Amino acid sequence: MVRLNKYIAQSGLCSRRKADELIESGVVKVNGKIITELGFSVSSKDKVTVNNKPLQKKSFVYIKYYKPAGYITTMSDEKGRKTIYDILPEEVKDLKPVGRLDKDSTGLLIMTNDGDFINKMTHPSVKIPKVYRVTAEGKMNQQHLLQMAKGIEIEEGKIAYADSMIIDFEGKNTVLQIVLYQGMNRQIRKMLDSLGFPVISLKRISHGTINIQGLKKGQFKYIKPREISDLLKYINKLEKKK
């Protein structure tokens, strides 16, 4: 037996949270009977419909994609900007990104058709680390890193935090490894701008237990079931620490 909201989410129709909303709205039926109880459980023998359409079990696909610069992370854009869907191979164009990278940033995007997984990975209550390699203009020191750890107000009322370390100096520039546990828009760029060290380049190298190793820009690779299982176990450990 599995909870109805999870059963719906596993079909690929939507996230578990959205499934709760569908159940409460009275559009979900089990064996022809409307169910509005959130804790209701079903088995594989039950017939579940949403808006009178039967759910079909969907096989989940997970990939890691090396996003190049110059593309935004969305399916379409009102301003006519290029998106990752303009260059993604046809076989994975139905997948959605887990979080975003801005237009000028590169690196790892996890993509999937598993709405429940996306919700779990992006929920603000679970601080899943995302690691970035960043080159910033100017020479930073430990005091600047301390400021980033203590928090910087990047917008009115919005305090951003980051764990960071200096990897190298390239001429007058600083190469950093930065770890984020939040998901604010253009967070690293805004933090470094506030300190007076504009970002030259920014690449995400890992998200949770998944990394970009072995990929070149524009390439993707299917994530193995064992890797997803390991990632979910890791997330469950983080959830228990809350």
Taking domain 62-125+209-240, whether its CATH number is 3.20.20.140 is answered by: no
Which of 116-130, 141-155, 198-212, 219-233 is least confident?
116-130
Tokens of 137: 């203009």
Q: CATH 3.30.70.580 spans which residues of the chain? A: 62-125+209-240
d(CA 207, CA 184): 15
| Mean pLDDT score, 118-123 | 89
**pLDDT tens, residue by residue, 59-97:** 889 999 999 999 999 888 888 899 999 999 999 999 999
**pLDDT tens, residue by residue, 187-206:** 999 999 999 999 999 999 99
Number of Cβ within 10 Å of residue 75's Cβ equals: 12
pLDDT at site 9: 83
Helix, strand, coil share (%) of the chain residues, nearest 5: 25, 30, 40
Name the CATH superfamily housing domain 130-207. Alpha-L RNA-binding motif (3.30.70.1560)
| Mean pLDDT score, 112-141 | 92
Q: CATH 3.10.290.10 spans which residues of the chain? A: 2-54
Q: CATH 3.30.70.1560 spans which residues of the chain? A: 130-207
pLDDT at site 230: 96
Q: What is the CATH number of domain 2-54?
A: 3.10.290.10
Mean pLDDT of the chain: 93
**pLDDT tens, residue by residue, 137-184:** 999 999 999 999 999 999 888 999 999 999 999 999 999 999 999 888
Please list the active-site residues: 102
- 84, 184, 239 from 216: Cα distances, Å: 15, 26, 32
pLDDT at site 239: 86
